[in-house]
Structure 1
Amino acid sequence: MSAQVTIIGASGRVGSLVTREVLRRGLTARVLVRDRSRLSPDLAANPRLQTTVGQIDDPSAMRTALAGADAAIVTVGVRYRRNHPWGGVDGRHDVVPAAIRTLLTVADSDTYVVLLSAFGVRESWRHLPLIAKMIIRTSSLSVGYAGLAEAEDLLDGSNQPHALVRAVTLTDGPATGGPVDASGRQLRGNPRVSRADLAVFLVDTALSGAGGRASTERSRRVLVAAGR
């Protein structure tokens, strides 16, 4: 399959892995970043990477990044000071809904959008263990969850074909190649999934949905956790 995939958030930990996976498959990756220097050197040097520098709420920059894209994968998220959920938020709180709002104003009607969200957002909240709910409510994670909920609302309220991929706790472990679609599965304890496995799944989901070939559904919800 020949396709172009746009990644919003390519300089992040998941976004860089997603971009690398798109390129590994021989596809063209288009990215929107605020600062080109934040891209990994191996990504920046790849001739199949097309980079647009701009803000996520700049319609012109977003339009350029999405031009010709069959699918868009959104992996942006709030940044926590010192990478600690009790350290407060560094930067804007609304980064995810801002990206989705801008994307929806300029994307082609058949561009398939995959949003990286989290287990516990919106109706999935009731399935979280009590301890997880307490941690989210008492930390800056509540800011991130609120932004993801708003972004999901925006997508579900649009006519844009999309998938909401809700991931559990992420690890830096290697890709296992195992199944990670945990939709309909009851999760116990503190389920985890590696960022590497998640990146592969995000690309698979984007490509299967591109052009509406995978399903007639306009919206999908997928829970992602490592298989057990």
Structure 2
Amino acid sequence: MHVTVFGASGAIGSLVVQQLLDDGHDVTALVRTPAKFTLFHDHLTVVTGQLSDCDAVEKAIRGADAVISALGPSLKRSTKGSQVTDGTRTIVRVMEKQQVTRFIGLATPSLADPQDKPHWKHKVLPVAAGLMFPNALAELKGMTEAVTDSGLDYTIARITNPTDKPATGRIRAGFLGHDKVGSAMSRADIAAFLVSQLTDRRYRRAMPAISN
């Protein structure tokens, strides 16, 4: 399968790229600064550009069977603007133009899925995030809505507390109030879940919460 990865140079994105390559996929990664992207592989193509560069986004998505986005907003309180939201909108537009329908991405349990039942995270997380990271929360809402309001075949994994612990292979996924899903999860296991959604059809057009 040919998969395009956005956010490929990030902590989760680089693990997604490596997992895809280990699984035998062809990967195209859009990166802003290639010098900081240290992965090399015969089946890896690196496209240089920013999310605001529509031509670069088109070049990265062209010929893809699916897109995995490990994009996320900055948690710095000084960060302003809607760069990630705008970039995600560009990705969606290009995917629709090129008839690439499968999108796999990340969000937060601060945002509810229609399949959730009432849960404390719906009350606590949005308030805490709004106080500590108001711009990041707005970006997460914007980038998520850009995908869920589209006709794409999406799966958006909601994560709470990513860690740098080794992969465990133990992954819980489901909907708040229905399933036993915790908060902490290793970035390696997050990456593995995202890659698994290339073939797992359980969460099509849904936003499962995931944890170890």
The TM-score, its normalising length taken from structure 2, stands at: 0.86
* Consecutive unaligned residues in structure 2, runs of 5 or more: none
Q: Flag the 1:120–1:133 CA change in 2: closer, same or farther, 3 A.
A: closer
From 129, 137, 159, the equivalent of 2:151 is 159
For 1:117-136, what aligned pairs fall within 5 Å after superposition? 117-122=107-112, 127=119, 128=121, 132-136=125-129
1:218 Cα deviation after fit: 5.9
C-alpha RMSD of the superposition:
2.3
Q: Flag the 1:129–1:114 CA change in 2: closer, same or farther, 3 A.
A: closer
1:198 corresponds to:
190
1:137 Cα deviation after fit: 2.5
Aligned identity (percent) is 27
Q: Flag the 1:65–1:137 CA change in 2: closer, same or farther, 3 A.
A: same
CA contact 1:122–1:149 (8 Å) conserved in 2: no
1:182 Cα deviation after fit: 3.3
Write the distance in 2 (CA, Å) between the matches of 1:24 and 1:93: 36
From 200, 208, 220, the equivalent of 2:199 is 208
Which amino acid is 1:138 matched to? L
2:86 corresponds to:
98
1:113 aligns with 2:103: yes
For 1:8-157, what aligned pairs fall within 5 Å after superposition? 8-39=6-37, 41=38, 43=39, 45-81=40-76, 88-90=77-79, 93-107=81-95, 108-122=98-112, 127=119, 128=121, 132-140=125-133, 142-157=134-149
How big is each residue's C-alpha offset from its partner over 1:46-78, in whole Å with a ceiling of 9 and x where there is no partner?
121101111102211001000111111111122
CA contact 2:109–2:125 (8 Å) conserved in 1: no
1:175 corresponds to:
167
Q: Flag the 1:220–1:75 CA change in 2: closer, same or farther, 3 A.
A: same
**For 2:30, what is the secondary structure of its paired residue?**
strand
How big is each residue's C-alpha offset from its partner over 1:132-167, in whole Å with a ceiling of 9 and x where there is no partner?
444312212x22221111122121221111111111
Write the distance in 2 (CA, Å) between the matches of 1:139 and 1:120: 13
* Consecutive unaligned residues in structure 1, runs of 5 or more: 82-87
Q: Flag the 1:171–1:125 CA change in 2: closer, same or farther, 3 A.
A: farther
1:185 corresponds to:
179
The TM-score, its normalising length taken from structure 1, stands at: 0.81
CA contact 1:119–1:167 (8 Å) conserved in 2: yes
